[in-house]
């Protein structure tokens, strides 16, 4: 986000900021928080296995320079190691229970 913000604000110099509890991993940007999946992709159990695998392969092979990725302003897709972290984050914010009430 810092790099995206800096692109819009000429007077922000992200090199002057300190990342506390810096994390590393699947994304190249400096950060202090966990990375959560942004775009979940679900497959109906009725979809044939070969179609499911073809779609999964296409999503995982989507490069950041592909026209579809550029149009969507995304870098591509990765396999979520544990999607439960999203559920836990929502529950910790009590967002899910607030919405249901």
The answer, yes or no, to whether residue 101 has pLDDT greater than 50, is: no
Phi, psi for residue 89 in degrees, rounded to 5: -65, -45
The alpha carbon of residue 100 and the mean position of all alpha carbons in its chain are separated, in whole angstroms, by 25
On average, the pLDDT of the chain sits at: 77
Measured over the CA atoms of residue 56, residue 57, residue 62 and residue 67, the dihedral's sign is negative
**Higher pLDDT pick, 69 / 84:** 69
Yes or no: say if 36 and 85 are a contact pair by the CB < 8 Å rule. Answer: yes
**Higher pLDDT pick, 74 / 31:** 74
Question: pTM (2 decimals)?
Answer: 0.53
Q: Average pLDDT in the 56-67 region?
A: 93
Token readout for 43 is 């497959």
pLDDT tens digits, residue range 6-32?
666 666 676 777 777 777 766 666 666
Q: Would you mind telling me the total number of residues written for the chain in this entry?
A: 101
DSSP class of residue 16?
G
């Amino acid at each position: 986000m810092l790099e995206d913000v800096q692109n819009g604000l000429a007077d922000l110099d992200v090199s002057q900021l300190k990342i506390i509890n810096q994390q590393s991993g699947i994304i190249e940007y400096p950060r202090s928080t966990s990375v959560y999946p942004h775009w979940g992709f679900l497959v109906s159990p009725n979809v044939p296995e070969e179609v499911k695998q073809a779609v999964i392969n296409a999503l995982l092979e989507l490069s950041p320079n592909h026209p579809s990725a550029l149009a969507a302003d995304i870098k591509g897709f990765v396999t979520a190691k544990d999607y439960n972290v999203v559920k836990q984050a929502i529950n910790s914010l009590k967002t899910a229970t607030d919405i249901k009430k």
